[in-house]
């Protein structure tokens, strides 16, 4: 009987008696949703072409016509900010998605099978973690050459370790649980047990973690672009905008100021989303 | 002294990690497309120099022999020469280490000076206005891009108020400290956001602990209970948090050195990438990795020294 009870317990796992949705989750979802909308509607809502130069109107302060002013090439800061939302959101989301997939797969296999596979994987994790994240990213980008593609590859090569660790720890606990024993006694294969029974439960905490990871990844992408090693000018990206503004800070504060504000607000959105989601699903940090 | 036995055994466990660091750097540099000798020496290398580096790094030998030679060179403190600066990489790093160390230590100190009082206020007034305000500010602080924060501080304190230099590094000590104030503040503001959150949680847990109750039962005033019994215990998780964040801190230093044009290791690394000075990139990356491993080891020793209950 216990085996049957165990398997039925698998299905309603997400129908857990969830507490009231915390306010942080609503606020976070609202902020993030707003930026997603801005990114999607960029061609419609941006008043100007983000890379069209208009030197006659260079370095105009915020005012009617150009709400957030113009930069040294006369490009509209607001339009660049709106188009930049696409790139920065993409860096955050895909920069987390690839490591998430790679790390989850590796962590799951490592924890489930154990033995020498686990030993080898965990040693590799230790070594990658020993490197300061940005330094290893920069070293990889040094080889691949600057660019958005290099950023994503470097993220996948370096970022998977945190997910592998998180998922492995969960899998170690789950594989000893009754419902997995039940699934095994029903004669299910390893793949089915991992994919259908263990992973859905093991992924909750890494999904919550991925929200705060999006913040870090977006900041990282913008930082690397600021250093000149990520997204390349004239593409409108917030880090690039700040880097280009630096020679003009004495005369034009607005070029530098607004991209950072946008980053901070969207980061706050994802932080709230992560915190709220964690509270809601009962995941401890 | 039984508890400190790990001080002797832990370095043995670190050997595989250090080994792995050398493997990763070796593989990274060797995966650059093209003739390794030309990659390492640049396009203007003389045939003579190419022949020399071929012999020194065994570039005609199989890969594992090359790795052996790489380790052997490393053991002799030989990390190659910079193409751009024409000096050994090790010497370059030694010249650049001071600003970086000053930047990191100053920033950590300053961030503790910011975080401890704020965490204390938030923990002691939990759920009240001050607590909420501090939580909102620290959550926002987590998302502030350090490079942008640095530029905002330059606009405010250097351009508008004229209090500090815009960028660079001074000649004498007083001048250097003057140049470092804004870089310190930039990193410290970002770091204290993380620290405040953890410290607050640790302090709240300690406020409810048995030993805090016991101290209250002995009739100690709440202020004394807090500063003598709660804070020292909340410091231990903070040390670990700082150690865990050393990688982030090094990354932050790399960025901030570039924002403020500070001639440290981070600037050396980024310039090395732009100039394809791969020996420099390799050397600095390895130095940073070893530094972060060392810091974690030192943090373990410190934790055991401070907290008699901890066993490693």
Phi and psi at A14, nearest 5°, equal -90, -5
Q: What is the pLDDT of residues B124-157, one digit of tens each?
A: 888 889 999 998 888 888 888 999 999 999 999 9
Contact (Cβ atoms closer than 8 angstroms) between residue B40 and residue B84: no
CA–CA separation, A49 and B187 (whole Å): 35
| pLDDT tens profile B44-98 | 778 888 888 788 777 777 888 888 888 888 888 788 788 778 889 999 999 999 9
* Residue A115 parent element (H or E): helix A115-130
Residue contact A249–B32, C-beta within 8 A: no
CA geometry: angle at A52 spanning A63 and A76, to 5°?
20
Chain segment A63-93, per-residue pLDDT in tens: 888 899 999 898 999 999 999 999 999 999 9
Contacts of A259 in chain B (CB under 8 A): 148
User: B274 to chain A, minimum CA–CA distance in Å?
Assistant: 8
Rounded-to-integer distance, Cα B6 and Cα A285, Å = 28
Chain A CB contacts of B16 under 8 Å are 123, 126-127
Taking contacts as CB-CB distances below 8 angstroms, the residues of chain B near A215 are 142-143
Question: CA angle at residue A85 from A83 to A90, to 5 degrees?
Answer: 115
Tokens 């080891």 correspond to B297
Question: So what's the pLDDT on residue A21?
Answer: 81
Cβ within 8 Å of residue A5, ≥6 positions away:
none
What is the number of other CB atoms lying within 10 angstroms of the CB of residue A180? Answer: 21
pLDDT at A284: 58
A94: nearest Cα among A173, A153, A141: A153
Taking contacts as CB-CB distances below 8 angstroms, the residues of chain A near B144 are 260, 263-264, 267
Q: Do A267 and B143 count as a contact with CB atoms less than 8 A apart?
A: yes
Using a CB–CB cutoff of 8 Å, tell me whether A156 touches chain B. Answer: no
**Of A238, A207, A270, nearest in space to B140 by CA:** A270
What is the per-residue pLDDT for A2?
Answer: 43
Asked if A32 has any chain B CB less than 8 Å from its own CB, the reply is no
Smallest CA–CA distance, residue A231 to chain B, in Å, is 15
**CA angle, corner A229, sides to A246 and B271, nearest 5?**
80
Token output for A249? 């800070």
Question: How far is A122 from A144, CA to CA, in rounded Å?
Answer: 26
pTM: predicted TM-score of the whole model, two decimal places = 0.88
Give percent above pLDDT 90 in chain A. 56
Say if the Cβ atoms of B143 and A271 lie within 8 Å: yes
The chain A residue lying nearest B272, using CA atoms, is A142
- Going by C-alpha positions, the residue among A43, A31, A150, A39 that lies closest to residue A88 is A39
Partners of residue B282 in chain A, C-beta under 8 Å: 139
Q: How many whole angstroms separate alpha carbon B248 and alpha carbon B111? A: 14
User: Residue A227 and residue B258: Cβ atoms within 8 Å?
Assistant: yes
Query: What per-residue confidence (pLDDT) applies to A1?
Result: 40
Token pair in block for residue A217: 């990844």
Q: Is the pLDDT of residue B243 over 60?
A: yes
């Amino acid at each position: 009987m216990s085996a049957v009870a165990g398997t039925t317990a698998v299905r309603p796992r997400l129908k857990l008696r969830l507490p009231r949705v915390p306010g942080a989750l609503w606020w976070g979802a609202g902020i993030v949703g707003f930026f997603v909308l801005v990114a999607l509607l960029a061609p419609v809502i941006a008043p100007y072409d983000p890379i069209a130069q208009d030197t006659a109107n260079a370095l105009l302060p915020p005012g009617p016509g150009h709400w957030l002013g113009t930069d040294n090439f006369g490009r509209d800061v607001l339009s660049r900010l709106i188009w930049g939302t696409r790139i920065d959101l993409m860096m955050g989301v895909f920069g987390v998605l690839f490591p998430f997939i790679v790390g989850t797969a590796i962590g799951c296999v490592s924890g489930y099978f154990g033995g020498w596979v686990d030993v080898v994987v965990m040693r590799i994790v230790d070594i990658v973690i020993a490197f300061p994240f940005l330094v290893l990213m920069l070293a990889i980008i040094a080889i691949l050459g600057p660019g958005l593609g290099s950023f994503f590859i470097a993220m996948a090569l370096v970022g998977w370790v945190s997910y592998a660790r998180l998922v492995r720890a969960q899998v170690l606990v789950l594989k000893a649980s009754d419902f997995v024993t039940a699934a095994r006694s029903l004669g299910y294969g390893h793949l089915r047990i991992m994919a259908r029974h263990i992973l859905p439960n093991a992924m909750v905490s890494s999904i919550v973690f991925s929200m705060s990871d999006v913040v870090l990844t977006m900041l990282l992408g913008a930082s690397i672009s600021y250093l000149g090693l990520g997204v390349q000018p004239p593409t409108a990206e917030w880090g690039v905008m700040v880097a280009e503004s630096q020679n003009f800070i004495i005369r034009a504060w607005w070029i530098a100021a607004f991209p950072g504000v946008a980053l901070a607000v969207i980061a706050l959105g994802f932080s709230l989303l992560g915190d709220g989601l964690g509270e809601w699903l009962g995941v401890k940090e | 002294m039984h508890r400190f036995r790990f001080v002797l055994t832990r370095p043995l466990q670190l050997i595989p990690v250090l080994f792995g660091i050398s493997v990763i750097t070796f593989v990274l540099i060797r995966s650059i497309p093209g003739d390794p000798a030309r990659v390492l020496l640049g396009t203007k290398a003389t045939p003579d120099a190419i022949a020399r580096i071929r012999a020194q790094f065994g570039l005609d030998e199989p890969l594992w022999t090359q790795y052996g030679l790489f380790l052997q060179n490393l053991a002799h403190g030989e990390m190659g020469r910079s193409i751009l600066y024409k000096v050994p990489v090790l010497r370059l790093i030694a010249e650049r280490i001071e600003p970086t160390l000053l930047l990191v230590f100053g920033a950590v100190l300053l961030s503790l000076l910011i975080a401890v009082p704020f965490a204390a206020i938030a923990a002691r007034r939990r759920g009240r206005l001050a607590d909420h305000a501090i939580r909102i500010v620290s959550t926002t602080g987590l998302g502030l891009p350090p490079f942008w924060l640095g530029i905002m501080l330059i606009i405010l304190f250097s351009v508008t108020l004229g209090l500090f230099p815009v960028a660079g590094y001074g000649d004498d000590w007083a001048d250097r400290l003057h140049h470092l104030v804004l870089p310190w503040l930039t990193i410290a503001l970002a770091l204290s956001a993380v620290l405040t959150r953890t410290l607050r949680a640790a302090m709240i847990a300690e406020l409810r602990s048995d030993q805090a109750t016991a101290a209250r039962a002995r009739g100690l005033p709440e202020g004394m209970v807090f500063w003598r019994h709660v804070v020292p215990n909340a410091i231990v998780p903070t040390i670990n948090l700082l150690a865990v964040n050393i990688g982030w801190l090094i990354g932050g230093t790399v960025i901030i050195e570039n924002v403020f044009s500070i001639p440290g290791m981070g600037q050396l690394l980024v310039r090395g990438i732009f100039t394809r000075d791969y020996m420099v990139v390799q050397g600095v990356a390895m130095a940073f990795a070893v530094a972060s491993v060392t810091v974690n080891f030192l943090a373990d020793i410190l934790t055991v020294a401070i907290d008699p209950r901890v066993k490693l």
